[in-house]
Amino acid sequence: MVAKIQRWGNSLAVRIPKAFANEVGIEEGSSIDLAIENGDLVLTPRRSPDLRALLDAITDDNLHAEVEWGSAEGSEVW
């Protein structure tokens, strides 16, 4: 597919056809990574890491200790 670059303020923009956006799972407001690879402009949807990957990255070195919030105030139950 051929797309046309258009001016958007002081920047340039390209419209992404809906079928392409649906296929790669992006929508208005999605974040993408822009890169130059071998002289080509590459747009890659930014995917949120899944919870398992985040939890697997926790080690003894980066695990925070518990925080003491003080004694109960009012009718909290600890």
Q: 14-37: string of b/e by CB count within 10 Å (b at 16+)?
A: eeeeeeeeeeeebeeeeeeeeeee
Q: What is the mean pLDDT of the chain?
A: 90
The answer to whether position 62 is within a domain reads: no
Distance CA 10, CA 67 (A): 48
The answer to whether position 77 is within a domain reads: no
Q: What is the pLDDT of residues 31-61, one digit of tens each?
A: 999 999 999 999 999 988 888 888 999 999 9
Report the pLDDT value the prediction gives residue 68, as an integer from 0 to 100. 87
The answer to whether position 24 is within a domain reads: yes
For the whole model, what pTM was predicted? 0.56
Per the structure, the complete domain to which residue 31 belongs is given by 5-56
Specify the number of domains making up the chain: 1
